Structure 1
Amino acid sequence: MQVSQYSKQQTCSSTSPLTSRCGLLKMLVMEEREGETSRVELEGLPGGAEGFESAAKFCYGVPLEITNHNVALLRCVAEFLDMSEENGEANLIFQTENYLEDLSTKTLKDIVETLQSCELLLPMAEELYIVRRCIDWIAAKVVLEQDIQWNQKNAIVVYDSELSQSYHSECWVDDISGLHISFFQRILLAMRERGLGADGIAGALVSYTQKSIIGLCRRKNSYHNNTILKPNKINLSDIPAATRHEQRIFLETIVRLLSKEKIAVPVGFLIDLLRTAYIIETTLACKLDLEKLISAQLHDATLDDLLLPSFTKQDGETQCDIGLIHRLIASFIELQYDDDYQYNMPEVYEEAHDLSNSSPENPMLKVGKLLDGYLAEIARDANLSLSKFIALADILPNCARLDEDGLYRAIDIYLKSHPYLTDAEKNRLCGLMNFQKLTQDACRHAAQNERLPVQAVIQVLYFERSRLNKVMTGRVASENVINHTADTQIQHKMSNGLVSAALWPKDDYTSVRQENIELKLEVAKMRMRLSELEKDHLHMKLDMEKAHALHESIHHHHQGLLQTFSKSISKFNPFHNHKPKLSFYSCHQKYNRGQKSHSHLEPHESPIMKASSQASSFEAQRNAFSSIYEHHLLS
């Protein structure tokens, strides 16, 4: 019998070493009919020709070294050929199993090498529990032998533009980074079952993903001067389609792992995953899952994280993906009122809903500050429409901003970058602000800001005046309770010239400042009144032009009718050879002079009344000409 495996062929008989140690081949030889030579193809043999060659060497006594790289292959080949102890003492199954048991005492790197070799031996490597044993050994070594001290300071917050250096202090992370995603996922879960901390799992996942996805790297965005860095330094269009498909599958698996197992990773890492998901065009479900994960930690994001470029190549599109940020903030607000979110993250939920908590660490306040900074960055974009800007700025509740200086700055930048806005659009834009929540410096700037509409300036000055009145009222009340003895001493010193009236310079400054605000308020009111008068004047001018145009139209219409009527009369004149004493034209001119001397228009007549008067005049003219024509015929 000839046994063939691709290019490898071996002739077997009942007495050959290969047949004596391989139960499968022994059975095939016994079934062979006498006097016939058959050819058997060993389809499905693990490792193919290489596996068959290794088994043949072992059977013929050729020295065969079992290593970390080939032990899984030899174990699977031995199982396939039935090289058990029944078919020979110290057979291949026995020797490979001994090596695997000793593997648990070796280094983590040795076990990882064996597990990595199992990728091409599935599903037999799974059926023989080689994969499961390697995963358990790796998890046990990481948890028991390594002194893992992952903490928020040196493992999570360190995530920056040099991500590859963030986790190099943990050698085990580097050792398992080359494994297939399915193996890596099972290792993480096994380590968590054995007590590995959440930070350690998150750190390993971040490092593994960064090394596996092409182009996934942190870098600082630059949005100034209307420029923004490319999404990735690597042109993914140059990567083969098969590789892009593998990257897509890998990323979707990572996202499912994050969502299902609720592994907490830095929000910056999630945003990088989302950026990559848009580039390699993952499924919509993958992108939505990432958006949900990001929105839950949006309060930990930075401004650079949010400056994601727009991946739609359309004319008139903004440089940044504003719609994405709108969805993230809307999802963040929705989560604050979600019962499941309140149960799973009670600390974040309570901080976000504690309106009395004005700490900078309040999640809602942090998102409010983050949004104001984002608005200031995108306000320079010439393609950013007013409706999009207002929709994004107005999405947060009132409790998300302690003051509105950041929003005012963003609005001012938008007004400066979009000078073509009408007064109505400016008023609509400024309607986003609560002027009572502007600080003193912002109010001072707004009162002198010529880009703001007059109505907005008046509101600023009005609230500033009210604020000063409260300050003055409070100061007077406090002065009334000043210790009488101290007041007497001060008056005594002032009478002796030791203390001048300038002892209270703040009072004088406040009074002068209040008077200044009063004057500015009056000037602003005058500006608004002047603007209204200019609008009224413009409307009156337009009405006059319309009335004049209507009058001219009626006048030309009358002239045309009279000329037509005159030509008609001349055609019917039987005395065209006889020169009349009174011409028709002279009668017409005489009649017009008479009409003008006896008719006039009231100064306040409307265009409709003028048109009616003109029509009546035309009727009178027609009757008069009829009488003249009859008189001319009779004469």
Structure 2
Amino acid sequence: MEALEANCDLEVEVNGEEIFFVNKRILSSSSGRLSKLFHNTSASTTASTLRVIFHELPGGPEAFELAMIFCYNNGVIDINPTNVCLLHCVAQFMEMDSLSEQTETFLQGISYWTLSEILFALKQCQDSTTIANSSGIFQKCVDSLVMRIASARESSPSNSSPDNNGVRFSCDTRSTESLKNTSHRIWWFEGLSVLNPDIIEKVVNAMISQKMSHMSISKFLLYYLKARSTTELPSEKRKTTEIVIGLLFLLDKSSVSCKSLFGVFRISSHLDISKFCWNQLESMIGCRIDEAMLDNLLVPAPQSVDILYDVDLVLRFLKYFFSSVDQIPPAQLKRLGRLIDLYLAEVAPDSCLKPLKFMALTTALQDSARDSHDSIYQAIDMYFEVHSGLSEEEKTKICSALNYEKLSSDACKHLAQNAKFPPKTVNQAIFSQQTKLKNLLKDTDIFSSLSRKVGVKGQEENEGDQIVLYAKKLDLSKENEELKANLQQMQWRVIELEKICKKMHTQMTKMKKKSCPSRSLPKLCS
């Protein structure tokens, strides 16, 4: 032992963590790096003056100790999945050719490793990323991991669906517990969650290139983000979140639900993530904004802005939605219309919401998104109630979002009596109802057909009576029962509209006398 200690003529400091006293000749005989270092060293130099400092030795003291064992044991060491990465990386760093050859030979059998052994090896690569990448050992572990997961999925039956596979992105503490007893779809989630974000990025990219299910990948990324967000520091959490967002952006848009994306949004809102990542996240949400709930859109505005809710955010969502596809299915568009109408009702009472922002919301959707404009009318009515200081010009511009033909008779009746609305708007609503009443008969194919058959000519004021006359003259057989029903419905609708129009005429006459005696009104239904 004393002789051995006397031969320790080299002091090696590893990464500022630990100091080793070793025999210079033994280590330099196996390490090309040390051999070149000592090549020009004077023979008269005493051992006490020899000191080597390694600042970035991969694997740290643990790896250097393994290298020492290899050197002191004449190039023999037990290589296994738990130390092969450390040995390989330190061999590359120390230029130990013999050890490098042995580790590379051992890695040829990586296909026979268990999943836990592959994950352990990858975890060791985390501290030696540069050398692990350059030497190829990292990619070998990644490829083997992905192949193992993919082959296990193919050979393992799974009855789970995207909605019941146990992964729930929420604050529910039962989510983690439910993962313990889930299907083969997520058996690998927990194992991969120990890897750092940089490695996860490479693993997921490999999964995508191997055409693994984007649904499974997205579920894992959401699980990974939730698992890491509870343990990481803010700076680490920000990096993890940015990497996860970037990876989700690479997947099919249909693989990530709108609800899950808003879960990522809530986490990101507390972090200073890059503008680039924000744009990616907003675009993903925007593509599926029609699936959102009202609560998702009620995001508080930034502190620097006076308004209650972040209206600009919703407008950006809508911009991404309409730019994502050329043709939007009607059902999807109608669903979005209902959502925005609910949002309008929430933001309209905000006294700090500027007219231009409110107008941008009311006109953001094309006309086909709504079957009725009653909700827009109600939102505008509330906005005028809160913003009593608006000019007539501003009110008229805001009302341009209304399609009067899509207002119900009750809404038109209310508008006709609503002193908050400019007279021009009231007139347009009344005129629209008159036109609707006339076109109800004029543009009806049934009416035109019947006119040609029976040769009846009449004026617009008695068209309602003509429908009854035509219905009586027809020979209504069984084949014409549907036609008879349509005629009867039209008759009752005309009668109903006439009554409404007369009431509106009376009400508007009273309003004219009280508030604006000099203003002319359109001729109403008689």
TM-score between both structures, scaled by the size of structure 1 = 0.61
Secondary structure of the residue aligned to 2:212 is coil
CA spacing shift, 1:365–1:510, aligned 2, 3 Å:
closer
Counterparts of 1:375 and 1:456 in 2: how far apart (Å)?
20
CA spacing shift, 1:508–1:176, aligned 2, 3 Å:
closer
Matched, 1:405 2:363: no
Counterparts of 1:509 and 1:256 in 2: how far apart (Å)?
56
Matched, 1:179 2:179: no
| Cα shift readout 1:470-522 (whole Å, capped 9, x = no counterpart) | 37468536523444799xxxxxxxxxxxxxxxxx9997897477335303322
* Contact 1:143–1:195 (8 Å) recurs in 2: no
Matched, 1:295 2:295: no
* Contact 1:151–1:199 (8 Å) recurs in 2: no
> Amino acid of the residue matched to residue 171 of structure 1?
W
Matched, 1:104 2:95: no
* Contact 1:156–1:265 (8 Å) recurs in 2: no
| Cα shift readout 1:418-458 (whole Å, capped 9, x = no counterpart) | 45556665444333211111235544655566655565555
Deviation, 1:305, is: 2.4
CA spacing shift, 1:384–1:56, aligned 2, 3 Å:
same
> Amino acid of the residue matched to residue 520 of structure 1?
M
| Cα shift readout 1:571-615 (whole Å, capped 9, x = no counterpart) | xxxxxxxxxxxxxxxxxxxxxxxxxxxxxxxxxxxxxxxxxxxxx
2:319 alignment partner in structure 1: 330
Counterparts of 2:368 and 2:503 in 1: how far apart (Å)?
34
* Contact 1:405–1:439 (8 Å) recurs in 2: yes
1:50 alignment partner in structure 2: 62
CA spacing shift, 1:93–1:327, aligned 2, 3 Å:
closer
Matched, 1:165 2:175: yes
Counterparts of 1:83 and 1:484 in 2: how far apart (Å)?
102
Counterparts of 1:48 and 1:514 in 2: how far apart (Å)?
90
Counterparts of 1:400 and 1:200 in 2: how far apart (Å)?
33
1:479 alignment partner in structure 2: 471
* Contact 2:201–2:243 (8 Å) recurs in 1: no
1:76 alignment partner in structure 2: 89
Deviation, 1:4, is: 2.0
Counterparts of 1:282 and 1:296 in 2: how far apart (Å)?
21
Matched, 1:351 2:332: no
2:407 alignment partner in structure 1: 438
1:135 alignment partner in structure 2: 142
1:114 alignment partner in structure 2: 121
Counterparts of 2:135 and 2:319 in 1: how far apart (Å)?
50
* Contact 2:349–2:386 (8 Å) recurs in 1: yes
| Cα shift readout 1:323-366 (whole Å, capped 9, x = no counterpart) | 22223323433x2xxxxx6xxxxxx53335xxxxxx423xx333
Q: How does 1:614-625 map to 2 (within 5 A)?
A: none
Deviation, 1:139, is: 0.9
Q: How does 1:5-404 map to 2 (within 5 A)?
A: 5-6=12-13, 7-12=18-23, 14=25, 34=43, 36-38=45-47, 39-41=50-52, 43=54, 44-60=56-72, 68-85=81-98, 93=100, 96-97=103-104, 100-147=107-154, 153-154=163-164, 162=172, 165=175, 168=179, 169=182, 170-213=186-229, 243-259=233-249, 265-274=256-265, 276-277=267-268, 279-314=270-305, 317-333=306-322, 335=323, 348-352=325-329, 359-361=330-332, 364-404=333-373
Deviation, 1:384, is: 1.5
CA spacing shift, 1:482–1:96, aligned 2, 3 Å:
same
CA spacing shift, 1:323–1:477, aligned 2, 3 Å:
farther
CA spacing shift, 1:506–1:72, aligned 2, 3 Å:
closer
| Cα shift readout 1:29-49 (whole Å, capped 9, x = no counterpart) | 787655543414152433333
CA spacing shift, 1:246–1:484, aligned 2, 3 Å:
closer
* Contact 1:22–1:81 (8 Å) recurs in 2: yes
| Cα shift readout 1:191-211 (whole Å, capped 9, x = no counterpart) | 222221222232223332333
Deviation, 1:140, is: 0.3
Counterparts of 2:77 and 2:280 in 1: how far apart (Å)?
50
* Contact 1:403–1:437 (8 Å) recurs in 2: yes
Alignment match of 1:524 (pick from 500, 503, 508): 508
CA spacing shift, 1:458–1:57, aligned 2, 3 Å:
same
Counterparts of 1:386 and 1:307 in 2: how far apart (Å)?
19
> Amino acid of the residue matched to residue 528 of structure 1?
K
> Amino acid of the residue matched to residue 311 of structure 2?
I
Counterparts of 2:339 and 2:259 in 1: how far apart (Å)?
14
Unaligned runs of 5+ residues in structure 2 are 1-7, 442-463, 479-487, 521-526
CA spacing shift, 1:121–1:330, aligned 2, 3 Å:
closer
* Contact 2:193–2:227 (8 Å) recurs in 1: yes
Matched, 1:3 2:14: no
Higher Cα radius of gyration? 1
* Contact 1:156–1:199 (8 Å) recurs in 2: no
Counterparts of 2:466 and 2:272 in 1: how far apart (Å)?
63
Deviates more, 1:244-253 or 1:318-327: 244-253
Counterparts of 2:37 and 2:260 in 1: how far apart (Å)?
58
* Contact 1:8–1:53 (8 Å) recurs in 2: no
Counterparts of 1:184 and 1:473 in 2: how far apart (Å)?
76
Counterparts of 1:115 and 1:2 in 2: how far apart (Å)?
35
* Contact 1:164–1:207 (8 Å) recurs in 2: no
| Cα shift readout 1:163-215 (whole Å, capped 9, x = no counterpart) | 99399441222322232222212212212222212222322233323333469
CA spacing shift, 1:202–1:462, aligned 2, 3 Å:
same
CA spacing shift, 1:473–1:200, aligned 2, 3 Å:
farther
Q: How does 1:475-514 map to 2 (within 5 A)?
A: 475-476=467-468, 479-483=471-475, 511=495, 514=498
Unaligned runs of 5+ residues in structure 1 are 86-91, 216-238, 336-340, 342-347, 353-358, 487-503, 537-635
* Contact 1:46–1:76 (8 Å) recurs in 2: yes
Counterparts of 2:244 and 2:141 in 1: how far apart (Å)?
21
Counterparts of 2:356 and 2:239 in 1: how far apart (Å)?
38
Counterparts of 1:201 and 1:297 in 2: how far apart (Å)?
19
- Share of identical aligned residues, percent? 26
> Amino acid of the residue matched to residue 206 of structure 2?
A
* Contact 1:5–1:52 (8 Å) recurs in 2: no
Cα RMSD between the aligned structures?
4.3
CA spacing shift, 1:473–1:461, aligned 2, 3 Å:
farther
Deviation, 1:371, is: 2.0
Counterparts of 2:31 and 2:408 in 1: how far apart (Å)?
88
Deviation, 1:129, is: 1.6
| Cα shift readout 1:528-572 (whole Å, capped 9, x = no counterpart) | 343123999xxxxxxxxxxxxxxxxxxxxxxxxxxxxxxxxxxxx
